[in-house]
Structure 1
Amino acid sequence: MLLLAAACVLPSTAMAAEEKVEGEAPSASVSSANQMTTGVARARDRLDSATSTSTLDEARIQILGVRSTAEIFRYIPGMRSESTGGEGFGNISVRGLPIANGGAKFLQIQENGIPTLEFGDIGFATAEQFLRADLNLVGLQTIRGGSASTFASNSPGGIVNLIDKTGTEDGGAIQLTGGLDYDDQRIDFEYGAHINDTLRFHVGGFYRKGEGPRATGFDGFKGGQIKFNITKEFTGGYIRFYGKLLDDQTVPTPYTPVQVSGTNGDPSYSSIANFDVTKDSLFSRYIGSNITLDDQNRPVANPYHDATHSKVKSIGFEANFDVDGWTINDKFRYAKMSGHMIQPYMLSNTSASLPYRSVDYATNIMASFHGTTLSYATGPQAGQVIADPSTLNGNGLLTLQLAWDNKLNSLDNMINDLRASKVWDMGGGELTFTAGYYRSSQDIDIAWLWTSQLSDVVGGGNANLINMSVGSLPITQGGYFGYGPALLGGYRRDRSDVSYDVNAPYGSLNYHIGKLSVGASVRYDFGRARGNLYGTTVPGNAQYITYDMNGDGTISLPERKVGFISYATSALVNYNYDYLSYSLSANYRMADDFSLFARYSKGARANADRIFFSGYINSATGKLNDPAAAFDPVQQAEAGIKYRANNAELYVTGFWAKTGEHNVSLERSYRAYGAELEASYRWGIFSVNGGATWTKAEITADKLDSSTIGNTPKHQADLIFQISPQVDIKKFSVGANVYGTTSSFAGDSNQLKMPGYAIVNAFVQYRPTDSVTLMLNANNLFDVLGLVEVDAEYIPSNGLVTARTVNPRTISASLRFDF
């Protein structure tokens, strides 16, 4: 409030400040976007900065053909983004840093310079789940490694910052998009204008509805968002207020059955009969809800069509002004965030703890229970006995699955980032000093409401729950083995209610003389975790209760295995942590179009819910059993060259990283090194942008499983790449965006491989007038089977594994009106 008051009384004495320094748009294209504001002290030309940075503008994002925010990240050099549709559940990392259990652990995803979530890998609530790319977006800036460790908390790998329009240009746009070979209808709009010479605003958003790129039998994509900001300029600065309302449902791609043959080192993957792994999903119109007890132990039926349901209500402000040569900037946001996540999940096919595989032939399951009868529990054939299970749906398969059902009660956060910067002329050069203070609070209140079900395997959104009985004894009820996580022995019916507070003073010095710039920055993070853990994983609590779930007065076998959250005994979370981050750099601009740079950094990422329920926290005292589990350090070195001419750019960086990690049932160290390339070239009507990253990564220590030492981390390919050629002829533009990867291992044991692939997205644009644009976009044009995850360490005897894949070919058409 003091800062806001100062912003109001100082305009007459403040010096002029360029608003682009903090929070404004990158330039109009990748090739001309040479000013970087994200993760650095002040905006600098890329050739004068010892960082690895990239930008994507609105026009480029429009033609990429992405279907989710995480898919945009695939086109950033050095970044690995394993996105499988929907919004959320993306596995995102940078330069060989590990993705042990999903999310974006070592990467911070921001919106207008403020983190979406303080921690990017919260279980079932990843950061990109609460972001949407629409016409509000003017561009995206990224920094990989470098000063990301010191200019943001919990971001040693890098920062991705999505930047909104602020009404600097009067006018707007309306865009209508529809799927031609899949069910999706969407409308986007945006409008910005000057109210007077010093006051401007921008508003925009979208709404969509449809089944989506995979067959589910219901409208799984439903909802939208609206965003608004208003900016008041004054002599020497500005103040901006903004708000956001998001309520959107999307359907992710769950693990689904895949046939695999050949050898672990040279496998061949293919779809099973009546289930196309690229187009189908285990979501179904005939499995409408998950019947369970809620987090207050009351019976509920949670709808499957919620899928990934994200809700955000946020307000914030940004103030920027100059006082006696000091540039002062403050960003503040309060976000009320909640939601729901539900999807079917099959346990690993190679789990030795199950009496039979999670995906197996019905005849094998029946052989485990002599005298078994199967019948439909849901769908149009409910109650009908399955006469010949071996021919069921043409594949004879059943899946024993968990209903992943997580209620996201609160992910509320409040964040403020205040910084001041000044430049002095000194010794023939310029000395830039920056000091700041970061403060945040982050709630993690999530309830796990899982159940255990039996389903058939069929595509088209037509799967059913299946009942099983042995003689006259029903083993299931309505397709449920248990109204709790019976497949996990009753564990994982839990709830976390914890709040994190993070404080971080930081500062930097940069001295620029002639062609040389040297810099140093430091950040001291200290935080605390306070709260409670409840449920079956807390020592002393029971795994089940008996409860008449259908109210018929009779207790069935599944009703003896009802999951509940016990509040009688809780585990405390009550610990503090602190760590120091620093970064040292040098940049030498040999010529106007060429520079060299080098940097060494040490940062860390504080661990959040990934160390809950895993033995890292003493349940009685709330303290850490091992203080090292509080945060995971990352050491990095990088060096590179930067070249920019009138029609070409080239950025080449070599990197090395050493990482420690504590995660769910995991305590490891990693090392990675490699090289990163980003390039662009324009010649007349032809242009091309591209990038590639070569990485060699290794598990160097493993406290729980020494057999993995020396192995390559799962999903880490030697090479990832992207290239985008484009031709522009008067009113037409045509081009393609290709991204791909070489092969990688499905698991850390380095047995079963996932083949490499290349996905082609193509587009055609026609502009009959300056204000009208028609676009045809094809995502995965050649309908390639791209395996993102395979949940198996080796090929099992039945030749069936479960996997997540990239989305199938989807073709959309858009009509845009600019005004």
Structure 2
Amino acid sequence: MSHRLRLTLAASCALFVVPAHAQQAANTESAATSRDEPAATPQAPKQAFTTGVAKGRDLLDSAISASALDEDEIQKIGTRSIAEVLGNMPGIRAETAGTDGLTAVTIRGLPMAADGSKFLQIQEDGLPVLEFGDIHFASTTAFLRTDLSLSQVQAIRGGSASTFASNSPGGLVNFISKTGDEDGGTLQLSSGIDHELGRADFNYGGHLSKTVRFNIGGFYRQGEGPRATGYDAFKGGQIKLNVTKTFGNGYIRLYGKYLNDREPNYAMVPVSVRGTNADPVYSTIPGLDPRKDTLYSRYKSSILALDGNNNVTNVDLRQGNHSKVASIGLEAQFDIAGWTFSDRMRYAAISGTYNESGSLALLPAAALAPAFAGPGATLRYATGPNAGKAIANPSALNGNGLLMYGLEMHSDLESLDNFTNDFRGSRVWGLGEGKLTTTAGFYASSQAMVQNLHLLTDVFDIAGGGNSAYVDVLTAGGLPVTQGGVLNYGIRGTGAYRRRYDLHYRVFAPYGSVNYQIGAVSIGGSLRYDFGKVTGTLYGADLGGGRVGLAPIDMNRDGTIALPERSVAVLPLSQPGLADYSYKYASYSVGANYRIAEPLSVFARYSRGARASAERLYFSPAVNPASGALTDPAMAYGPVKQAEAGVKFRKDGVTLFATGFWASTTDKNLQVGADATGATVVLPIDRDYSAKGVEVEGLFEHGPLSLRMGATYTKAKIDADRADKTLVGNTPRHQPDLIFQATPQFEVKRFTIGTNLIGTTSSFAQDGNLLKQPGYTIVSPFVQVRPVNGLQIGLNVYNVFDKLAFVSVNSAAVPASGVATAQTLNGRTITGSVRFSF
């Protein structure tokens, strides 16, 4: 068979399967759950996979569905957003606009009712970044970054993830650091070519002696970024260090990390929507391109608010999403008397701020003024170069004639500190003609959640280039109903959503597994028992019980109480609500694998896991604020059931994995959505969901050519809805039938050229299944040139065709105004880099 024919056939097969990335696993001790596999090499076809399993094995001998990406592949993808990295793995659906603060990640059709990663746990070096992935305004991805110190990302979908970690019934993703196995270092300098963002990355590792090695790495970046803000919206970096001491029967590792980084929140922006619900036409509005613009602005730099003690403070909105992490950890593994014992522990001090400029309604400027200030109302600029000037022709404002009735969401993430420890012991026993592997472990964690939340309403214009400004609304008699653009220091007409959380979560979980392998057959099962305790206090008028949530406060300290200052949302600090309940649940997983031949195996598995509820339970009927107890104990956690069966093939440079799956869950949540007019609404969620589908992975390698592809076909539906029975049978919002990834490349000694493709088919914007949200394909080519040893020059072009790609559309139907708000991916973004290796 000719080379051309073989390439054509392999590429055809790969359209239905995706690469088994897992053969490129990490070095020995730094993998997630077992440290006894051989050192990795980029082409090691039988490298053990270690995340979410008892002991590292070749994937063809494991009854799991898993993938991995190494650091070199992540560099080629052309993004450093955590969610976009995850979106390059089969089975994982990630919603992001290119930054890490506002993301939503899920797996295998499990619902994405809110932001964060409720059913998917994200780990760093084998321990969770946060115990809960969907804490309000604190997505796990916000406290994690990729840089040159990253060795590999491993992901397990379903399978034993539910029993080898807490709160991970859908799967696990583990970001694994380099540990200095190879002596040498790397320095990379990169810069935006069509945008202002400079970045420096470095990593250096090596041996201090025959038994001591280290690795240090990190990055620093600063600049406006790919979307116009008018100031340096990106600023900060991180540094990571680990030192490993090896012994004849094991090792000890000490590691630490410091992250202090801010980035903008690319949230909802206005777009034009015309046509019908089934066949809508989306486009940009005059004066604002969501691929290049954002609602951040140099003229909307700050806003007055109250701190957690009801004292006036000035919130710097330019901080965007600001993340701080200072962590220290210890990891050890030793072989003693036939057993392998390992322990990982980490303490992380985590804090930050969250800022999002959103929308309650988008209105024509000429209509907004009388809506809030009556007939004859006028408008004038409150900030910017035109501050104090009247807006004489509102209908022509910025070429679009629009004003935003805005919602500023600001949260002080005062403490998300956590401590985690995972201890386990494993032994392989000879039993008959086979081998019995037994594992027992105990997991313990403590997670703080101290958060001070403000929601304020304001008015501002819609202008690109980072030029939006606050607008004041005045009555016909000239009386301002706004103050510096602020309409209410709270949500108009209510005292709700001024909240403070001071919560503490403790989780304990013994677990164990057995696996018996005899010849080509491997059968195993695992069990985990989680029990937790939640304590703390809450403050907010919407806890009820006569709590007062509004008070007059002179916010700007000018000696008078203006209209917006008459009803300022305050915390009822003398009337706390309580959090005080316990929960417990069991998880299990059973599976079998049959190695039919050296290149071929089949497997099947059934699992039941669960995810404990975090703070989204509160300020709802689910919790009695007087006692802190749950009104319905079933609200404490959401169970997830999964069944899967698959086939794996690997031979002569071709790797093909295919897995069919079924999953079901119950979700109780709060979902930010929109009605048919595009107005923002908050919906209580109490539903049952199910999903079935197939995920496929494929890798073809032939000489300098390689093709890595993945696809997941899913059919998901709402099986029950206690609040709205008309939604039963509908497809959950943002759930496409198909998501896919592909990376074809040509690589020789002196250069690499290729492209990364990622995309989805269409989905529904909301659960009512009316308005279609268009699918997209993002094409991002890359080239790397190595003119001499130790030097690499790179060019990445993200979204080369400048596709207007929608992550989320905030409207249930085509709005009568023809304008909705939406979250989009970045437009064309070109980055150049130079990399020195030594």
Unpaired runs of at least 5, structure 2: 1-27, 671-683
Letter in 1 for 2:57: R
- Tell me the SS of whatever aligns to 2:467: coil
- Tell me the SS of whatever aligns to 1:624: coil
CA deviation map 1:694-742 (0-9, x unaligned) = 0000000111111111000000000000011001133111000000000
Residue of 310, 316, 326 corresponding to 2:323: 310
TM superposition shift of 1:686: 1.1
Letter in 2 for 1:381: N
Question: Where does residue 669 of structure 2 map in the other structure?
Answer: 663
- Maintained 8 Å contact 1:376/1:384: yes
Question: Where does residue 603 of structure 1 map in the other structure?
Answer: 609
Question: Where does residue 188 of structure 1 map in the other structure?
Answer: 201
Residue of 136, 161, 166 corresponding to 2:174: 161
TM-score w.r.t. structure 1 length? 0.95
TM-score w.r.t. structure 2 length? 0.93
Question: Where does residue 748 of structure 1 map in the other structure?
Answer: 767
Q: Where do residues 113-192 of structure 1 align in structure 2 (5 Å cutoff)?
A: 113-192=126-205
Q: How many residues align?
A: 792
- Tell me the SS of whatever aligns to 1:75: coil
Residue of 643, 652, 657 corresponding to 2:658: 652
Q: Distance in 1 between matches of 2:390 and 2:370?
A: 17
TM superposition shift of 1:26: 7.6
- Maintained 8 Å contact 1:26/1:57: no
- Maintained 8 Å contact 1:438/1:505: yes
Q: Distance in 1 between matches of 2:832 and 2:806?
A: 27
- Maintained 8 Å contact 1:733/1:765: yes
Question: Where does residue 279 of structure 1 map in the other structure?
Answer: 292
Residue of 554, 577, 589 corresponding to 1:583: 589
Q: Distance in 2 between matches of 1:367 and 1:505?
A: 62
CA deviation map 1:246-286 (0-9, x unaligned) = 00001121111111000011101111111112111000000
TM superposition shift of 1:335: 0.3
TM superposition shift of 1:590: 0.2
Alpha-carbon spacing, 1:440–1:768, altered in 2? closer, same or farther (3 Å): same
Does residue 1:497 correspond to 2:502, yes or no?
yes
Residue of 67, 84, 90 corresponding to 1:71: 84
Question: Where does residue 14 of structure 1 map in the other structure?
Answer: none
CA deviation map 1:222-256 (0-9, x unaligned) = 00000100000001100000000000001121111
TM superposition shift of 1:25: 9.2
- Tell me the SS of whatever aligns to 1:720: strand
Aligned-pair identity (%): 51
TM superposition shift of 1:490: 2.6
Letter in 2 for 1:674: G
Q: Distance in 1 between matches of 2:625 and 2:495?
A: 19
Residue of 10, 35, 38 corresponding to 1:22: 35
Does residue 1:377 correspond to 2:382, yes or no?
yes
CA deviation map 1:545-572 (0-9, x unaligned) = 1011112221111001212112111111
Q: Where do residues 197-236 of structure 1 align in structure 2 (5 Å cutoff)?
A: 197-236=210-249
TM superposition shift of 1:792: 1.0
- Maintained 8 Å contact 1:168/1:193: yes
Residue of 216, 241, 256 corresponding to 2:269: 256
Q: Distance in 1 between matches of 2:507 and 2:256?
A: 23
- Maintained 8 Å contact 1:118/1:154: yes
Q: Distance in 1 between matches of 2:548 and 2:35?
A: 53
- Tell me the SS of whatever aligns to 1:366: helix
- Tell me the SS of whatever aligns to 1:196: coil
CA deviation map 1:363-406 (0-9, x unaligned) = 12234321101000000110000111111111110000111100
- Maintained 8 Å contact 2:101/2:354: no
TM superposition shift of 1:136: 0.5
- Tell me the SS of whatever aligns to 2:568: coil
CA deviation map 1:772-795 (0-9, x unaligned) = 110000011111011000111111
CA deviation map 1:787-816 (0-9, x unaligned) = 000111111111111000011111000100
Which one is further off, 538-547 or 187-196?
Answer: 538-547
Residue of 753, 778, 799 corresponding to 1:734: 753
Letter in 2 for 1:226: I
Q: Where do residues 445-460 of structure 1 align in structure 2 (5 Å cutoff)?
A: 445-460=450-465
Letter in 2 for 1:46: L
Question: Where does residue 407 of structure 1 map in the other structure?
Answer: 412
Letter in 1 for 2:480: P
Does residue 1:698 correspond to 2:703, yes or no?
no
Residue of 359, 364, 367 corresponding to 1:364: 367
Q: Distance in 2 between matches of 1:561 and 1:170?
A: 63
Letter in 1 for 2:186: A
Letter in 2 for 1:366: A
Question: Where does residue 683 of structure 1 map in the other structure?
Answer: 702
Which one is further off, 555-564 or 103-112?
Answer: 555-564
Letter in 2 for 1:521: S
Question: Where does residue 757 of structure 1 map in the other structure?
Answer: 776
CA deviation map 1:655-706 (0-9, x unaligned) = 0001111112211100100000000101222110000000000000111111
Q: Distance in 2 between matches of 1:712 and 1:577?
A: 31
- Tell me the SS of whatever aligns to 1:459: coil
Question: Where does residue 396 of structure 1 map in the other structure?
Answer: 401
Does residue 1:770 correspond to 2:783, yes or no?
no
Unpaired runs of at least 5, structure 1: 1-16, 348-357
Q: Distance in 2 between matches of 1:444 and 1:29?
A: 40
Q: Distance in 2 between matches of 1:121 and 1:714?
A: 18
Q: Distance in 2 between matches of 1:500 and 1:684?
A: 52
TM superposition shift of 1:603: 0.2
Q: Distance in 2 between matches of 1:541 and 1:764?
A: 61
Alpha-carbon spacing, 1:702–1:23, altered in 2? closer, same or farther (3 Å): farther
Alpha-carbon spacing, 1:25–1:469, altered in 2? closer, same or farther (3 Å): farther
Question: Where does residue 783 of structure 1 map in the other structure?
Answer: 802
Question: Where does residue 338 of structure 1 map in the other structure?
Answer: 351
- Tell me the SS of whatever aligns to 1:473: coil
Q: Distance in 2 between matches of 1:476 and 1:754?
A: 35
Question: Where does residue 729 of structure 2 map in the other structure?
Answer: 710
TM superposition shift of 1:448: 0.5
TM superposition shift of 1:646: 2.1
CA deviation map 1:84-124 (0-9, x unaligned) = 12222211011000000111000000000000000001010
Q: Distance in 2 between matches of 1:541 and 1:802?
A: 34
Question: Where does residue 20 of structure 2 map in the other structure?
Answer: none
Letter in 1 for 2:530: D
